[in-house]
Structure 1
Amino acid sequence: MDKLFNYKYLTKKHLKGLDNYKYSAIDTSPLSNYVMHPLWNTTVKILPKWLAPNLLTFAGFVLMVALVVLLGVYDYGCHGPLADDGVRVPDWVYTACGVLLFVAYNLDGLDGKQARRLGVSGPLGEMFDHGIDSYVVFFIPYGLIAVFGRDHEFTLPVIRGLLIVVSVCLNFFVSHWEKYNTGVLYLPWGYDISMWATSLLFLVPGLNGPTVYHTYLIGQVTVAQALEVVVHTTGLVTTLPVAVYNLYLAHKNRTAIYKSILEALRPVWSMLVLNVVFIAWAVTSPSNILEYDPKAFLLLYGTNFSHILCRLIVAEMSKQRCDVIAWMCWPLLAGAAVSLYLPHLEVPTMYSLVLLSLAGHLHYAICVVRQLCVHYKISCFAVPKSKRK
């Protein structure tokens, strides 16, 4: 087992770049600065000093996994108020999901506070935090789809649910593409707002029943349709234009890390392949694979997305060029081709790709964390005795 996770994904250049890394972020969100940071600054004082920051990060991730599993158990088919067997999903399931999400969000805010309080901030903690965030950002819309369900007038077609997941994930990607080029992580205002809003979107049906969203807001516009517009508009009107502008300023001020447009766009190609393949596969699927098992299909997307982002995060922090095309894109392309030309193999191909992507991503994550722990002579989930005093 030890040999299995002893692969060295990080090169000497990666490690040297990480040794010189300095965290740089700008957060101008009023909600973050005037509500959440003061709350976290107070809360962190009562945390025991033996509690490692990465343990807080991982605990938040476990809560998000619990949210996904809970919805999978009671509503695997994403049918919303009525589960697969026609039995209503208990209201407490949605309440629990809202609580799990909000607690996970606060743990994600506390981990950095705890790290600075103990003086154990470093590349491993940031990479661990952002790497897990790349999966959590997918889990949020992945779970929220189950609240609205499908196949009735107050929800969206599954393909549009996929596009919502893609839109949310792309907002996260754009922020890290921006950091890859500028060296600065500009935290979007929408992050804190979306965490509060999504928690409430879970809690409301928990308190009032899941059919609470079976209504029209204005005319024939449903709650699900309004949410769809908000999600897409947020990325197109705020996240992307701001990122492009910050990149323009970096080039104008000669602080951009990569000078040519081709180098600046290098992270885009893996993400472009990922999204084109998934959307094309969903639209042209002989077996209508997205309708057949939306949970598995979307999980395959989210795992591939997280893997590409984790590799981008490693590249941006070490100031190394990222992959032009991440390796996970190739099995995905092959699987989509097999599904198109051999329709009878489409379902087993999808499930095989889910297992392959989960195994590959898990292996990469564990190996990178182990390699950094050895390099910095630290433990991922333990605070040094000298820092506990």
Structure 2
Amino acid sequence: MEKLFNYKYLDKNHLKGFHTYKYSAIDTSPLSNYVMHPLWNASVKLLPKWIAPNLLTFAGFLLMVASVVLLGLYDYGCYGPLRDNVQVVPDWVFTVCAVFIFVAYNLDGMDGKQARRIGVSGPLGEMFDHGLDSYVVFFIPYALMTVFGRDNEYTVSVFRGFILIMSVSLNFYVSHCEKYNTGTLYLPWGYDISMWVSSLLFLVPGLYGPRVYHIYLFGYKFVNVLEVVVHATGLFTTLPIAFYNVYMAKKNNTIIYKSILDMVRPVWSMLIMNATILVWVIKSPNNILEYDPKAFILLYGTHFSNIACRLIVAEMSKQKCDIVTWMCWPLRAAVAISLFFPHIEIIVFYCTFFFSLAAHLHYGVCVVIITFLYYSFNLKQFKHKFFFYFLTFLAYLVSKLY
């Protein structure tokens, strides 16, 4: 059991890179600079200094998980809050989710300030934070599927809901591809706006009921207008700005990788994974997405998070990322088996689902909890031993599940 969780995903070059890593980010959002940062600076002073920053990060993540679980209990099939014009998801559920999302957003903003306040800023915190963010960015649109559903006049199909989730997730990945090449994380304006909008999208039906979105704007369903805005944000803001920043870094000779082939290395794993998932959705003999949308989209989110986490580790250690991560191959095998042997597709799907969750959990436990803590820090110099023991105990509990 000890050997199982002593697998070293990071080599000496990774650890050496972590020791010399310095966080670099540029945030020009007016909402962030003039509203949220002053709020977080004031709020963090109310926190006891013994609270480790990563506990704030983890607490925010758990709130997002709680929102997803709560909505899943009432609407596992992503049919929405109404069934045959009868409301099945209580208004209070949406209100609770709005509060959870907004609190999680604020905890995510406060964790870095708490780290600087108590003098423990370092690569562990950023890796832990951004690693969990790679799941949170998927959880929010995942949860919003319940607000709109998929079975009446004012909703979109589950396939289009899934494409929206892919669009939001890829915006996150584009920003980290940008950082992989420039060394600086350019925080998009859309992040803070999207967190406010997401909270409000839950709060409004919590206050006025889910039928509040059964309206038309400019002659189109409200959800269709929202759909266009989400896709346009990525295509016309995040993507071109990322290309521009990478171009300027290359022009100014501050780019980390000179070769075009090295610059686009992060693209291939994500491209192959997304293409594989889309082939499965479109060609599935048993319409697997409609069969179990919650599990299938969570499978996608797990693969997305794993690829994003590996990119984050590479960018922080200034090491080249994998051209294709190994988890892409079992996924491709599962799709091939499902297409050629449709009678076992459901079994193959659930086996792939649980295998992917276990593999990603193993990666996170080994990198964040064991490998990084034991090989990057001297325990005697670790100021907040409570957090160290907390993570070690968590690793022990996880190992028992195996």
Q: Distance in 2 between matches of 1:331 and 1:153?
A: 38
Taking every aligned residue pair, what percent have the same amino acid on both sides? 69
Structure 1 position 267 matched with structure 2 position 296: no
| Residue number in structure 1 paired with 2:378 | 377
Please report how far the alpha carbon of residue 65 of structure 1 lies from its aligned counterpart in structure 2 after TM superposition. Answer: 0.5
CA-to-aligned-CA distance 1:294-339 (integer Å, 9 cap, x gap): 1011000000000000000000000001011111111110111111
| Residue number in structure 1 paired with 2:360 | 361
| Residue number in structure 1 paired with 2:393 | none
User: What is the aligned-residue RMSD (CA, Å)?
Assistant: 1.7
Please report how far the alpha carbon of residue 121 of structure 1 lies from its aligned counterpart in structure 2 after TM superposition. Answer: 0.4
**Would you identify which runs of 4 or more consecutive aligned residues in structure 1 move more than 6 Å?**
none
Which residues of 2 match residues 225-236 of structure 1 at below 5 A? 225-236=224-235
| Residue number in structure 1 paired with 2:293 | 294
Asked whether the equivalents of residues 51 and 382 of structure 1 are also in contact (C-alpha less than 8 Å), the reply is no
| Residue number in structure 2 paired with 1:62 | 62
Which residues of 2 match residues 201-212 of structure 1 at below 5 A? 201-212=201-212
Q: Which amino acid aligns with 2:280?
A: W
Q: Which amino acid aligns with 1:200?
A: L
Helix, strand or coil for the counterpart of 2:226?
Answer: helix
Q: TM-score, normalised by structure 2?
A: 0.93
Asked whether the equivalents of residues 81 and 88 of structure 2 are also in contact (C-alpha less than 8 Å), the reply is yes
**Are the structure 2 counterparts of residues 87 and 35 from structure 1 closer, same or farther at C-alpha, using a change threshold of 3 Å?**
closer
Please report how far the alpha carbon of residue 354 of structure 1 lies from its aligned counterpart in structure 2 after TM superposition. Answer: 1.2
CA-to-aligned-CA distance 1:260-303 (integer Å, 9 cap, x gap): 11111000000101111111211111101111111011000000
Q: Which amino acid aligns with 2:178?
A: E
Asked whether the equivalents of residues 171 and 239 of structure 1 are also in contact (C-alpha less than 8 Å), the reply is yes
**Residues matched between the structures, number:** 384
CA-to-aligned-CA distance 1:83-127 (integer Å, 9 cap, x gap): 699661111111111111000000000100000000000010000
Asked whether the equivalents of residues 13 and 320 of structure 1 are also in contact (C-alpha less than 8 Å), the reply is yes
Helix, strand or coil for the counterpart of 1:267?
Answer: helix
| Residue number in structure 2 paired with 1:242 | 241
| Residue number in structure 1 paired with 2:142 | 142
Helix, strand or coil for the counterpart of 2:232?
Answer: helix
Please report how far the alpha carbon of residue 4 of structure 1 lies from its aligned counterpart in structure 2 after TM superposition. Answer: 2.8
Asked whether the equivalents of residues 80 and 151 of structure 2 are also in contact (C-alpha less than 8 Å), the reply is no
Asked whether the equivalents of residues 304 and 357 of structure 1 are also in contact (C-alpha less than 8 Å), the reply is yes
Structure 1 position 47 matched with structure 2 position 47: yes
Q: Which amino acid aligns with 1:175?
A: S
Q: Which amino acid aligns with 2:78?
A: C
| Residue number in structure 1 paired with 2:166 | 166
Structure 1 runs not aligned, ≥5 long: none
Asked whether the equivalents of residues 29 and 189 of structure 2 are also in contact (C-alpha less than 8 Å), the reply is yes
Helix, strand or coil for the counterpart of 1:49?
Answer: coil
Please report how far the alpha carbon of residue 382 of structure 1 lies from its aligned counterpart in structure 2 after TM superposition. Answer: 7.3
Please report how far the alpha carbon of residue 207 of structure 1 lies from its aligned counterpart in structure 2 after TM superposition. Answer: 0.6
| Residue number in structure 1 paired with 2:94 | 94
Q: Distance in 2 between matches of 1:288 and 1:214?
A: 28
Q: Distance in 1 between matches of 2:261 and 2:7?
A: 31
Which residues of 2 match residues 116-195 of structure 1 at below 5 A? 116-195=116-195
Asked whether the equivalents of residues 40 and 110 of structure 2 are also in contact (C-alpha less than 8 Å), the reply is yes
Q: Which amino acid aligns with 1:364?
A: Y
Q: Distance in 2 between matches of 1:171 and 1:238?
A: 10
Structure 2 runs not aligned, ≥5 long: 387-402
Please report how far the alpha carbon of residue 2 of structure 1 lies from its aligned counterpart in structure 2 after TM superposition. Answer: 3.9
Structure 1 position 82 matched with structure 2 position 67: no
Q: Distance in 1 between matches of 2:308 and 2:248?
A: 24
Helix, strand or coil for the counterpart of 2:153?
Answer: coil
Asked whether the equivalents of residues 76 and 84 of structure 1 are also in contact (C-alpha less than 8 Å), the reply is no
Please report how far the alpha carbon of residue 216 of structure 1 lies from its aligned counterpart in structure 2 after TM superposition. Answer: 1.2
Q: Which amino acid aligns with 1:326?
A: T
Q: Distance in 2 between matches of 1:348 and 1:222?
A: 37
| Residue number in structure 1 paired with 2:398 | none
Helix, strand or coil for the counterpart of 2:217?
Answer: strand
Q: Distance in 2 between matches of 1:5 and 1:106?
A: 32
Deviating more after overlay: 275-284 vs 175-184: 275-284
**Are the structure 2 counterparts of residues 193 and 382 from structure 1 closer, same or farther at C-alpha, using a change threshold of 3 Å?**
farther
| Residue number in structure 1 paired with 2:31 | 31
| Residue number in structure 1 paired with 2:399 | none
Q: Distance in 2 between matches of 1:208 and 1:109?
A: 29
Structure 1 position 111 matched with structure 2 position 92: no
Q: Distance in 2 between matches of 1:39 and 1:321?
A: 37
| Residue number in structure 2 paired with 1:305 | 304
Q: TM-score, normalised by structure 1?
A: 0.96
